[in-house]
Amino acid sequence: MGEISPATPAPIGVGALWCVAATGLLSALLLGDGFGLNLLIVTVPAALAAYFAARDAGRRPRPWTLAWAAGGLALLAVPALRDAAWPTFLAVTSALALGSLALHGCRTWPGVVLGPFGLIGSLGSGLVWGARGVRRRAEGTRGRWAPVVRTVLVAVVLVVVFGALFASADAAFADLLGALIPDVSVADGPWRALLLVIGLVGALAAAHTAAAPLRWDRITVRPGTARGRAEWALPLIVLNLLFAVFIGVQLTVLFGGYDKVLHETDLTYSEYATQGFWQLLGATLLTLLVIGLARRWAPRDGAGDRTLVNAVLGVLCLLTLVVVASALRRMDLYVDAYGLTRLRVSVAAMELWLGLVIVLIMAAGVVGGRLLPRAVAASGALAVLVFGLLSPDALIAERNAERYRVSEKIDIDYLQELSADAVPALDALPEPLRSCALQGIERELGDADEPWYATSWSESRARDILDERPIDPRWDECSLIPRHGGAAPRASYDDGRAVDR
């Protein structure tokens, strides 16, 4: 293993210190009310602190560094736009990983895999580094602190006094001021103080990493012992033949063989789909492992060996793509039978991303694998971004609403557990289904008037829809709807009252 310890960082500069202070202050003021646009607002000064620290250390941003940073900021748009917690968690986690990659500048597989964890090692050292910088600046500029403090205090007093006067003179200005300024109370003091510390420590860790990153790319991974052609190729050729036979059966079933297969196996369409999807997902993951190990032990004596390796693994990748398509088809059958859920849309998205990874591996076999680690990481981040922006809960609501229009089957209990992202699609359902489906979401939204920086666009839109068309769930009507996807009662309306028929 190579030496990965960072160099001694350059002293933290004034610009980085001010950005760290701004990050801590904004964290204390904005993050206590939930997640939304505030995450992006807090991240900007932290990113600037890292930029100033890297510049002071003589590091210059490279194209991939800028790409990772832009990707991380783009991922933080998900909590600002969507209400569901699970895409937000994936987006924030991925944004942290991309930010760490931007700070470390990793290129190899060890760097891309371990780089996202590099910030953890800078939490303590960054705090010590920042404290030393503050002490040094205070000792060298003791005579200049008093004018700065006086200026800040005078500005604060003027803003508070005249702001209070203008707010009392005009109700519209008071409402605008109340919406823009965070509501901070004495009772929130400990929580806000904790957020202040988290913001300061996090920003200092980012700045310290930018000034002196761990050198993950220096970790050397020795290639495996090369095998002979026959020893290496024969097992993979047998595996390719097995894949080909399986795909042949799938094509037979696809082109008119469902009835015969289902009759012989005594399975329904949904059971046939359920039985196969998870196994095919596992087969895709195992194939990626097989490809990685095969590359490690591949023969490499010359052009002939390279041609053999690319041919055998290329065929395996192509056949795996067909398996991916078969797995997605199984999931489509499953969704037709039982509806779309969060688990099903998540694993289907994962299968699609695995298919994309296989395509990237095939491209690396043609043009070289130097960019493959970063391409796989970028594809994963892009998949999380698209997954969040497409709004999975909205897709679930739309698909289940469409399923109801076709089969009159709907699972109201499950729809009530969705987030505000689903409200536009559920709003199109006929009554009483609409009110019964939306009552859980409306109850979760509550009457709380959250600040603008902690309210997602989906949540704001959902509140507008429910204010414009209030729901009117009646217990007797909702109780008549079969649970767990059964056929829902049809109802006609006269003056807003439902009459079952």
Residue-wise pLDDT tens digits, 452-464: 888 899 999 999 9
How many H-runs (helices) and E-runs (strands) does the chain carry? Answer: 22, 2
Asked if 436 and 498 count as a contact pair (C-beta separation under 8 A), the reply is no
114 within domain boundaries = yes
Confidence of residue 32 (pLDDT cuts 50, 70, 90): confident
Predicted pLDDT at 406: 86
Q: Is the pLDDT of residue 47 over 50?
A: yes
pLDDT confidence tier of residue 265, bands split at 50, 70 and 90: low
Identify the pLDDT of residue 72: 94
Q: Is the per-residue pLDDT at 178 higher than 80? A: no
Run of H or E residues at 497: strand 497-500
Q: Is residue 71 part of a domain?
A: no
Cα gap 218→221, rounded to integer Å: 9
Is 319 inside a domain boundary? no
Q: Are 287 and 321 in contact (CB under 8 A)?
A: no
Q: Give 66-120 pLDDT, tens digit per residue.
A: 999 999 999 999 999 999 988 999 999 999 999 999 999 888 888 888 888 888 8
From 218, 250, 273, the end of a domain falls on 218
Indicate if the pLDDT at residue 124 is higher than 90. Answer: no
Query: What are the φ/ψ torsions at residue 500 (nearest 5 degrees)?
Result: -65, 145
Counting every residue written for the chain, the total comes to 501
| 468 compared with 475, residue with greater pLDDT | 468
**Quick check: 355 pLDDT over 80?**
yes
* The pLDDT of residue 500 is above 50: no
Number of folded domains in the chain? 2
Q: What is the dihedral of CA 238, 241, 246, 248, to 10 degrees?
A: -170
Is residue 326 domain-resident? no
Question: Is 488's pLDDT higher than 60?
Answer: no
Residue showing tokens 């043609």: 366
Q: What's the pLDDT score for residue 323?
A: 86
Residue 351 lies in a domain: no
Pairing between strand 491-494 and 497-500? antiparallel
Does residue 276 register a pLDDT over 80?
Answer: no
The predicted pLDDT at position 398 comes to 93
Average pLDDT over residues 219-242: 86
* Average pLDDT for 200-206: 94
Interval 183-207 mean pLDDT? 83
User: Which pLDDT score is estimated for 103?
Assistant: 93
pLDDT of the residue at 267: 61
Per-residue pLDDT, averaged over 235-264, amounts to 74
- 172 has pLDDT over 80: no
- Measured CA to CA, the distance from residue 169 to residue 54 in angstroms comes to 48
User: Which of 76-90, 128-142, 299-313, 426-440 is predicted with the least confidence, judged by mean pLDDT?
Assistant: 128-142
Whether 427 has a pLDDT exceeding 90, the answer reads: yes
C-alpha distances in angstroms, 339 versus 177, 329, 410, 436, 489? 46, 14, 8, 18, 18
pLDDT given at position 136: 81
Interior/surface letters 194-231, b for 16+ CB within 10 angstroms, e for the rest? ebbeebbbbbbbbbbbbbbbbbbbebeeeeeeebebee
pLDDT band at 256 (very low <50, low <70, confident <90, very high): low
Q: Which domain holds residue 144?
A: 14-62+105-218
Please state which of the ranges 36-40, 49-53, 396-400, 484-488 shows the lowest mean pLDDT: 484-488
Over residues 350-376, the mean pLDDT reads 91
- Asked if residue 34 has pLDDT above 90, the reply is no
**Of residues 106 and 485, which shows the higher confidence score?**
106
Contact partners, residue 377, CB within 8 Å, separation at least 6: 97, 98, 101, 112
**Residue 438: burial class (beta carbons within 10 Å; 0-12, 13-18, 19+):** buried
Is residue 366 very low, low, confident or very high in pLDDT (cuts 50, 70, 90)?
A: confident
The top-scoring range by mean pLDDT among 117-121, 335-339, 379-383 is 379-383
DSSP assignment of 88-122: HHHHHHHHHHHHHHHHHT--SHHHHHHGGGHHHHH
Residue 35 has pLDDT above 80, yes or no: yes
Last residue of a domain, one of 184, 203, 218: 218
Q: Give every CB contact of residue 382 below 8 A, 6+ residues apart in sequence.
A: 71
In a domain, 4, yes or no: no
Residue 324: inside a domain: no
* 78 part of a folded domain: no
> Which among 199, 218, 237 is the end of a domain?
218
Is the pLDDT score of 475 beyond 70? no
- State the pLDDT at residue 301: 81
Question: For residue 246, which amino acid is it?
Answer: F
CB atoms closer than 10 angstroms to residue 291:
20
Residue given tokens 């829809």 in the structure block = 465
User: Is residue 183 pLDDT above 70, yes or no?
Assistant: no
- Mean pLDDT, residues 45-64 taken together: 92
Task: Classify burial at 380, counting beta carbons within 10 Å of its beta carbon; exposed 0-12, middle 13-18, buried 19 or more.
Answer: middle
pLDDT for the residue 496: 35
DSSP string, 223-285: PPPPPPHHHHHHHHHHHHHHHHHHHHHHHHIIIIIHHHHHHHHT--HHHHHHHHHHHHHHHHH
Condensed to tens digits (0 to 9), the pLDDT of residues 293-334 reads 898 888 878 788 888 988 999 999 999 998 888 888 878 877
Average pLDDT score over residue span 258-279? 60
- Residue 253 has what pLDDT? 65
Closest CA to 377 of 123, 122, 99: 99
Joined tokens for residue 182: 């965070």
For the chain, give the mean pLDDT: 82
Please determine, for residue 214, whether its predicted confidence score (pLDDT) is greater than 90: no
Share of the chain above pLDDT 90, in %: 37
29 compared with 382, residue with greater pLDDT: 382
Instruction: Please determine, for residue 360, whether its predicted confidence score (pLDDT) is greater than 60.
Output: yes
pLDDT at 492: 35
Asked whether the predicted pLDDT for residue 161 surpasses 70, the reply is no
